[in-house]
Amino acid sequence: LLQKENREYPDLCQLPDLNEATLLENLRQRFEAGHIYTYVGSILIAVNPFKFHPIYNPKYVRLYQNQRIGPILPPHIFAIADNAYYNMLKEKRNQRHHYAQHLLHHRRHHSRRRQCIRVVHLTG
């Protein structure tokens, strides 16, 4: 007989056998242990505890600041928020770099065209 594993997984992607029953059982075990957040990769599942949890203060904001989503810290809404903010800044940086590259290419293209026009004008 298979023994029921009493281990809770902070990320459902870590479940050895992912199906509806194991998913719900994992969420139940985590909820009973006081863990209201669970990851599914980079997605966060929140189970309403119907009571106050002291996990929304500046201490937790600092704890999750500049941290990657992963096994180091337990799942939390602040991790998702910080990750979204980091990705937004990264995307903005990439867009600026792409725009700068486009401008550089555009300038090079126009300077070559001007040189060609000058050559044609001088020879014509």
Residue among 20, 24, 40 at smallest CA distance from 32: 24
Reported pTM:
0.69
pLDDT tens for each residue of 2-24: 335 568 899 999 999 999 999 99
Q: What is the pLDDT of residues 37-92, one digit of tens each?
A: 999 998 999 999 999 999 999 999 999 998 888 889 999 999 999 989 988 888 88
Q: Provide the pLDDT for residue 15.
A: 95
Choose among 14, 54, 8, 55: nearest CA to 33.
Answer: 8
Among 26-40, 79-93, 103-117, name the most confident range: 26-40
How far apart (Å, rounded) are the C-alpha atoms in residues 114 and 94?
Answer: 30
Which pLDDT does position 68 carry in this prediction?
85
